[in-house]
Amino acid sequence: MDVDRADAPRFEKGSFNGHYESWFLRANHPDRPDAFWIRYTIFAPKNQPERAEGELWAIAFREGQPPFALKTEIPMSDCHFGRDRGLDVRVGDARLWGEGREGTAEGRIALEERSLRWRLRFEGARDPLLLLPERLYDAPLPKAKALVPRPACAFTGELVVDGESMEVHGWRGSQNHNWGSKHTDEYAWGQVVGFEGDPDAFLEVSTARIHLGPVKTPWLTPMVLREGGHEHHLGGLLRAVRNDGSYELGQWTFAAKGKGVQVEGTFSAPPESFVALPYRNPPGGLKTCMNAKVARCELSIRRRGERPRRLLSPHGAAFEILRDARPGEHE
């Protein structure tokens, strides 16, 4: 799948099926536990296409401070999701656009006396990364899809948090795209762009299951790892079922096997580094995304006939957990 296809909108205006779709950016400071996450979103509730609207989200993670998070909602009449060429997204005055391996993002959220503004360039991305087999991205199931059109980007620019400037220079991250008619019922998701000793390594992994009425599927743990000149696709359906994954808030362990390779890893982060975000679900109800972008990730990689290789990212990992919202959680 090429980058333009990976970023193409899947939203169908006027559809009664319900839909969410997001294009988001994330990146980490090369040395400090600073990071950002910016998300341009469509939300359309099932059977109510007239209530479709845009959402704009942003979080700044700063060393020694609690995460700074803002969200706003924008009428669909003031949004644009282009299909003609490349990446072309606008939610209100906030834009995200690009072609090939480069792009630009700019925007601002201002709520009461709080504000976050950004202007960012990203370049040098690698080929798109698919966590699922490509044929599934056009299939009815799973109902939630995710991929990385531009992995391993270098970001430059500026964030301004309540008037305080954060220079972004050489931060490593990615531009991502996900969509569906229903959020995955339960999941942990992680991504790492560069490890100590291997700045070109890239990890994308998830542990998830869906609910089919009262029945819950087995846990699935698909994974893609690019490291040391190798690309390990450990995400086929049967393989994902056989992989191991177990998580709770602040800690996630996983293990995956492929042809001639075995990968084990952990994500970890203290509870105070997570932000609880309310995700509306197209069929109805509310989910909570526990979102941290300065998590720790440790990996052990064993290839047949070689000594184990260990990789560490002390504070450059994205770590999210999605669950049902608890009563009163987002009031």
Give the residue, 263 or 140, on which the prediction is more confident. Answer: 263
pLDDT digits (tens, 9 = 90+) for 17-46: 999 999 999 999 999 999 999 999 999 999
Residue at 199: amino acid letter: P
Q: If you search the block for the tokens 């990996």, which residue do you land on?
A: 299
Cis ω before 142 (30° cut-off from 0): yes
Strand 87-91 relative to strand 261-268, pairing: unpaired
pLDDT over threshold 90, residue 57: yes
pLDDT of residue 186: 95
Helix-, strand-, coil-residue percentages of the chain, each rounded to 5: 10, 60, 30
pLDDT digits (tens, 9 = 90+) for 159-215: 999 999 999 999 999 999 999 999 999 999 999 999 998 999 999 999 999 998 889
pLDDT digits (tens, 9 = 90+) for 321-331: 999 988 878 87
pLDDT of residue 294: 97
In order of 17, 23, 79, 280, the CA distances from 13 in angstroms are 10, 17, 12, 18
Give the residue, 238 or 198, on which the prediction is more confident. Answer: 198
pLDDT of residue 236: 73
pLDDT of residue 326: 86
pLDDT digits (tens, 9 = 90+) for 92-122: 999 999 988 899 999 999 998 899 999 999 9
Per-residue pLDDT band for 228 (boundaries 50, 70, 90) equals confident
State the pTM of this model.
0.95
Residue 329 tokens, joined: 């959680």
Average pLDDT in the chain: 93
Average pLDDT over residues 243-261: 93
C-alpha dihedral sign at 187, 24, 29, 273? negative
CATH architecture of the domain with range 18-324: Beta Barrel (2.40)
| Contact between 17 and 52 (Cβ < 8 Å) | no
pLDDT of residue 258: 84
pLDDT of residue 299: 96
| Domain chopping of the chain, boundaries | 18-324
Average pLDDT over residues 217-242: 86
Per-residue pLDDT band for 306 (boundaries 50, 70, 90) equals confident
pLDDT of residue 254: 97
pLDDT over threshold 90, residue 140: no
In terms of average pLDDT, the best of 2-11, 77-86, 220-229, 273-282 is 273-282
The candidate with the shortest Cα–Cα distance to 107, out of 206, 38, 10, 194, is: 38
CA angle 318–174–19, rounded 5-degree value: 80
Per-residue pLDDT band for 256 (boundaries 50, 70, 90) equals very high
